[in-house]
Amino acid sequence: MAEKVKLATVWLDGCSGCHMSFLDIDELLLELAPRIELVYSPLVDNKVFPETVDVTLVEGAVSSEEDLEKIRHIRAHTRLLVSLGDCAVTGNVSSMRNSFGAKAVMEHAYIETANIHNEMPTQVIPPLLKRVRPVHEVIAVDVYVPGCPPSAKTIGYVVTELLDGRLPDLTTLSRFGA
Amino acid sequence: MKTTTQTMNRVKTLKIDDRDVSGSEHQTILDVARENDIFIPTLCHIDGLSDIGACRLCVVEIKGSGKLVPACATEIQEGMEVFTQTEALAKYRKLILEMLFTEGNHICSVCVSNGHCELQYLAARLGVDHVHLPYLHQQRTVDASHERFIVDHNRCILCTRCVRVCDEIEGAHTWDVTGRGTKARVITDLNQPWGTSETCTGCSKCVHICPTGALVEKGKSVAEMSKRREFLPYLTSMREKNNG
Amino acid sequence: MISEELQRIGSTTQDEEDRFEHQILVCKGTACISAHSEQVEDALKAELEHQGLHTQCRVKGVGCPGLCAAATLITVQPEGRLYKEVQPEDAAEIVASIKSKAVQRLSIPTNVPFFQRQRKLVLENSGVVDPEEINDYVARGGYNSLISALTEMSPAEVITEITKSGLRGRGGAGYLTGLKWSTVSKAGGAHKYVICNADEGDPGAFMDRSVMESDPHRIIEGMTIAAFAVGADQGYIYVRAEYPLAVKRLQAAIRQAGKLGVLGNSIAGTTFSFNIEVRLGAGAFVCGEETALMASIEGKRGTPRPRPPYPAEHGLWGYPTLLNNVETFANIPVIIREGSEAFAQIGTEKSKGTKVFALTGCVNNSGLIEVPMGITLREIIYDIGGGIPNDRPFKALQTGGPSGGCIPKEYLDTPIDYESLMQLGSIMGSGGMIVMDDTSCMVDVAKYFMKFSMLESCGKCIPCRVGTTQMHNLLDKISQGRATLDDLALLEELCEMVKRTSLCGLGQSAPNPVLSTLRFFRDEYLMHVVEKVCPAGVCKIHHEEVTHS
CATH of A5-95+129-163, one of 3.40.50.700, 3.40.50.2000, 3.40.190.10, 3.20.20.70: 3.40.50.700
Q: What is the mean pLDDT of residues A39-54?
A: 93
Task: List CB contacts (< 8 A) between A14 and chain B.
Answer: none
Residue B102: inside a domain: no
pTM for the model: 0.95
Report the amino acid identity of residue C420. S
Q: From the centroid of its chain, how far is CA B70?
A: 12
Is the confidence at residue B240, as pLDDT, over 90? Answer: no
User: Mind telling me how many Å the CA of C443 is from chain B's nearest CA?
Assistant: 20
Residue of C501, C502, C547 to mutate, testing the B interface (most B Cβ within 10 Å of its Cβ): C501
A53: helix, strand or coil: strand
- Average pLDDT over chain B reads 94
Is the Cβ–Cβ distance between C361 and C407 less than 8 Å? no
**CATH superfamily ID and name for C16-110:** Glutaredoxin (3.40.30.10)
Task: List CB contacts (< 8 A) between A68 and chain C.
Answer: 547
Is C547 in contact with A133 (Cβ distance < 8 A)? yes
Is A99 in contact with B134 (Cβ distance < 8 A)? no
C372: helix, strand or coil: strand
| CA C48 – CA C55 distance, rounded (Å) | 9
Which other chains touch chain B, taking contact as 3+ CB pairs less than 8 Å apart? A, C
- Of B95, B158, B176, nearest to C497 by CB-CB distance is B95
Is the Cβ–Cβ distance between C106 and C94 less than 8 Å? yes
User: Mind telling me how many Å the CA of A1 is from chain B's nearest CA?
Assistant: 35
User: Mind telling me how many Å the CA of B158 is from chain C's nearest CA?
Assistant: 7
Report the amino acid identity of residue C347. G
**Closest-CA residue of chain A to B108:** A177
B137: nearest Cα among A105, C312, C525: A105
CB contacts < 8 A (A, C): 9
| CA A137 – CA B105 distance, rounded (Å) | 17
Is the confidence at residue A31, as pLDDT, over 70? Answer: yes
| CA C543 – CA C546 distance, rounded (Å) | 8
Q: Tell me, what's the pLDDT at A6?
A: 96
Neighbours of C264 (CB within 10 A): 16
Q: What is the CATH number of the domain that holds B26?
A: 3.10.20.740
Is A90 in contact with B101 (Cβ distance < 8 A)? yes
Helix (DSSP H) and strand (DSSP E) numbers for chain C: 23, 14
Per residue in C512-549, is it b (16+ CB within 10 Å) or e — as a string? bbbbbbbebbeebbebbbeeeebbbeebeeeeeeebee
User: Mind telling me how many Å the CA of C506 is from chain A's nearest CA?
Assistant: 29
Task: List CB contacts (< 8 A) between A133 and chain C.
Answer: 547
C198: nearest Cα among C281, C297, C260: C281
Q: Tell me, what's the pLDDT at A36?
A: 95
Q: Tell me, what's the pLDDT at C548?
A: 43
C266: helix, strand or coil: coil
Per residue in C15-38, is it b (16+ CB within 10 Å) or e — as a string? eeeeebebebbbbbbbbbbebbbb
Q: Give the confidence band of A18 by pLDDT, cuts at 50, 70, 90.
A: very high
CB contacts < 8 A (A, B): 71
Is A130 in contact with C548 (Cβ distance < 8 A)? yes
C480: helix, strand or coil: coil
Asked whether residue B71 falls in the same domain as residue B125, the answer is no
Tabulate helix, strand, coil % of chain C (nearest 5).
50, 15, 35
C358: helix, strand or coil: strand
Long-range CB pairs of A68-77 (<8 Å, 24+ gap) are A68/A129, A68/A138, A68/C547, A70/A10, A70/A12, A71/A10, A71/A12, A71/A135, A71/A138, A71/A139, A72/A138, A72/A139, A73/A49, A74/A8, A74/A10, A74/A49, A75/A139, A75/A140, A77/A49, A77/A50, A77/A51, A77/A52, A77/A53
Residue ranges making up the domain that contains B59: 11-85
CB-based contact, A157 to chain B, within 8 Å = no
What are the Cα distances from residue A144, in Å, to A58, A173, B129?
A: 10, 12, 6
* Number of structural domains in chain B: 2
Is the Cβ–Cβ distance between C215 and C129 less than 8 Å? yes
Is C459 in contact with B158 (Cβ distance < 8 A)? yes
Side-by-side strand order, sheet with C405-408: C367-372, C354-361, C432-437, C394-399, C405-408
What are the Cα distances from residue A93, in Å, to A133, A145, B137, C41?
A: 11, 16, 13, 68
Is B53 in contact with C503 (Cβ distance < 8 A)? yes
CB-based contact, A131 to chain C, within 8 Å = yes
Is the Cβ–Cβ distance between C395 and C443 less than 8 Å? no
User: Mind telling me how many Å the CA of C520 is from chain B's nearest CA?
Assistant: 24
Q: Give the confidence band of B19 by pLDDT, cuts at 50, 70, 90.
A: very high
Is the Cβ–Cβ distance between C458 and C303 less than 8 Å? yes
Asked whether residue B134 falls in the same domain as residue B217, the answer is yes
Task: List CB contacts (< 8 A) between A91 and chain B.
Answer: 135
Q: What is the mean pLDDT of residues A111-118?
A: 90
Q: Tell me, what's the pLDDT at C543?
A: 72
A134: nearest Cα among A71, A74, A80: A71
Is the Cβ–Cβ distance between B30 and B60 less than 8 Å? no
| CA A57 – CA A158 distance, rounded (Å) | 10
CATH of C354-437, one of 1.10.260.40, 3.40.50.11030, 3.10.20.600, 3.30.565.10: 3.10.20.600
| CA A59 – CA A82 distance, rounded (Å) | 9
Is B88 in contact with C500 (Cβ distance < 8 A)? yes
User: Mind telling me how many Å the CA of A138 is from chain B's nearest CA?
Assistant: 11
Is A176 in contact with B120 (Cβ distance < 8 A)? yes
Asked whether residue B67 falls in the same domain as residue B145, the answer is no
**Closest-CA residue of chain B to C495:** B92
Q: What is the mean pLDDT of residues A92-104?
A: 93
CB-based contact, C545 to chain A, within 8 Å = no
**Closest-CA residue of chain B to C496:** B92
Is the confidence at residue A34, as pLDDT, over 50? Answer: yes
**Closest-CA residue of chain C to B180:** C458
pLDDT in tens, chain C (549 residues): 788 999 999 999 999 999 999 999 999 999 999 999 999 999 999 999 999 999 999 999 999 999 888 989 999 999 999 999 999 999 999 999 998 999 999 999 988 999 999 999 999 999 999 999 999 999 999 999 999 999 999 999 999 999 999 999 998 889 999 999 999 999 988 899 999 999 999 988 999 999 999 999 999 999 999 999 999 999 999 999 999 999 999 999 999 999 999 999 999 889 999 999 999 999 899 999 999 999 999 999 999 999 999 999 999 999 999 999 999 999 999 999 999 999 999 999 999 999 999 999 999 999 999 999 999 999 999 999 999 999 999 999 999 999 999 999 999 999 999 999 999 999 998 899 999 999 999 999 999 999 999 999 999 999 999 999 999 999 999 999 999 999 999 999 999 999 999 999 999 999 999 999 999 999 999 999 999 999 999 999 987 654 444
Q: Give the confidence band of A170 by pLDDT, cuts at 50, 70, 90.
A: confident
Is the Cβ–Cβ distance between C549 and A130 less than 8 Å? yes
Q: What is the mean pLDDT of residues B134-138?
A: 95
User: Mind telling me how many Å the CA of C472 is from chain B's nearest CA?
Assistant: 12
Give the max Cα distance, chain B. Answer: 60
Dihedral in degrees, nearest 10, Cα atoms C426, C429, C433, C439: -40
| CA C81 – CA B3 distance, rounded (Å) | 70
**Closest-CA residue of chain A to C549:** A130
**Closest-CA residue of chain C to B73:** C306
Is C547 in contact with A130 (Cβ distance < 8 A)? no
The yes/no answer on whether domain C442-548 falls in CATH 3.40.720.10 is no
Neighbours of B34 (CB within 10 A): 15
- Of B107, B139, B140, nearest to A93 by CB-CB distance is B107
Q: Give the confidence band of B1 by pLDDT, cuts at 50, 70, 90.
A: very low
Higher pLDDT, C189 or A94: A94
For helices B87-103 and B118-125, the axis angle rounded to 10 degrees is 140
DSSP secondary structure letters along chain B? ---S-TT---EEEEEETTEEEEEETT-BHHHHHHHTT-----SS--TTS-----S-TTEEEETT-SSEEEGGG-B--TT-EEES--HHHHHHHHHHHHHHHHHTT--GGG-TTTTS-HHHHHHHHTT--S--SPP------EE--SSSEEEEGGG-----HHHHIIIIII----EEEESSGGG-EEEETTTB-GGG-SS-----HHHHH-SSSSEEETT--TT------THHHHHHHHHHHHH-
**Closest-CA residue of chain C to B132:** C490
Asked whether residue B127 falls in the same domain as residue B75, the answer is no
Q: Give the confidence band of B31 by pLDDT, cuts at 50, 70, 90.
A: very high
Q: Report which secondary-structure segment, H or E, holds C432.
A: strand C432-437
A61: left (phi over 0), alpha (psi -120 to 50) or beta: beta
Q: What is the CATH number of the domain that holds B148?
A: 3.30.70.20
* HSE-up of residue C467 (Cα within 13 Å, Cβ side): 36
| CA B48 – CA B164 distance, rounded (Å) | 10
C235: helix, strand or coil: strand
Residue ranges, CATH 3.10.20.600, chain C: 354-437
User: What is the residue extent of each domain of chain A?
Assistant: 5-95+129-163
Is the Cβ–Cβ distance between C320 and C186 less than 8 Å? no
Task: List CB contacts (< 8 A) between C457 and chain B.
Answer: 180-181
Q: Tell me, what's the pLDDT at C306?
A: 96
- Of B109, B120, B124, nearest to A92 by CB-CB distance is B109
Segment 24-63 of chain A within 8 Å of chain B by CB:
none
Is B180 in contact with C458 (Cβ distance < 8 A)? yes
Neighbours of C415 (CB within 10 A): 16
SS (H, E, C) C62-75: ECCCCCHHHCCCEE
The yes/no answer on whether domain C142-345 falls in CATH 3.40.50.11540 is yes
Residue of C460, C478, C549 to mutate, testing the B interface (most B Cβ within 10 Å of its Cβ): C460
Asked whether residue B115 falls in the same domain as residue B213, the answer is yes
Residue B5: inside a domain: no
Per residue in C461-478, is it b (16+ CB within 10 Å) or e — as a string? bbbbbbbbbbbbbbbbbb
A11: helix, strand or coil: strand
| CA C536 – CA C527 distance, rounded (Å) | 11
Rg over CA atoms, chain C: 24
CB-based contact, C470 to chain B, within 8 Å = yes
Instruction: Give per-residue pLDDT as tens, B171-197.
Output: 999 999 999 999 999 999 999 999 999
Which other chains touch chain A, taking contact as 3+ CB pairs less than 8 Å apart? B, C
Neighbours of C102 (CB within 10 A): 16
ipTM for the whole complex = 0.95
